[in-house]
Amino acid sequence: MTFEHSENGKQVSESWDTVFKSLSVEPRRQLIVSLLDTPPDQSVPLPESAAMPNIPLDPEELRVELYHIHLPILAENGFITWETDPLVASRGPRFNELAVVFDALHSEAANIPDSLVIGCQRLEHERQRSVGRG
């Protein structure tokens, strides 16, 4: 194995670690899904675009968490850009690195175990669509 191949492997591994750490918390996942549902050149309002529809959260508490934790993590890695007045987020230059994970999950919704689908409106919908096609 060449040094270059080893270094590339290390970079790929670190990139995947960054992707999965960035998607490790629900408000960040929900924000990415909201951005996927929005035209690429548009922003989404926060905190509502980071709230999971079937889990009630205090909007002010979510706003604080977004501002101090979630948005900086996503922005620092180039996945989103954000503004404070009004609080909005848009796709960043590396957004597609997160989008591809959701695209793969949604296309395989019929094969994902129920424990990871039931209760997630998006995956439930994708599963129903795939059953209707099959």
Looking at residue 62, which CATH number applies to its domain?
Answer: 1.10.10.10
In a domain, 99, yes or no: yes
Strand pairing partners for 83?
A: 88
The pLDDT of residue 28: 96
pLDDT tens digit sequence for 74-97: 999 999 999 999 999 999 999 999
In a domain, 86, yes or no: yes
Model confidence at 115, in pLDDT bands (50, 70, 90)? confident
Q: Which domain holds residue 46?
A: 14-133
pLDDT tens digit sequence for 116-131: 878 877 777 788 887 6
Distance CA 57, CA 66 (A): 13
In a domain, 8, yes or no: no
In a domain, 2, yes or no: no
In a domain, 9, yes or no: no
Query: 46 by DSSP, 3-state: which?
Result: coil
pLDDT tens digit sequence for 24-69: 999 999 999 999 999 999 999 999 999 987 777 889 999 999 999 9
Rounded to 5 degrees, what angle do the CA atoms 21, 30, 47 make? 110
Phi, psi for 112 (deg, rounded to 5): -85, 135
In a domain, 61, yes or no: yes
In a domain, 5, yes or no: no
**Contact residues for 45 (Cβ-Cβ < 8 A; gap 6+):** 86, 87, 88
The pLDDT of residue 54: 76
Position of tokens 């599963």? 127
Residue of 118, 125, 121 lying closest to 29 (CA atoms): 121
Query: 87 by DSSP, 3-state: which?
Result: strand
87-91/80-84 β-pairing:
antiparallel
Q: Are 66 and 87 spatial neighbours (Cβ–Cβ below 8 Å)?
A: yes
What is the number of domains present in the chain? 1
Model confidence at 6, in pLDDT bands (50, 70, 90)? low
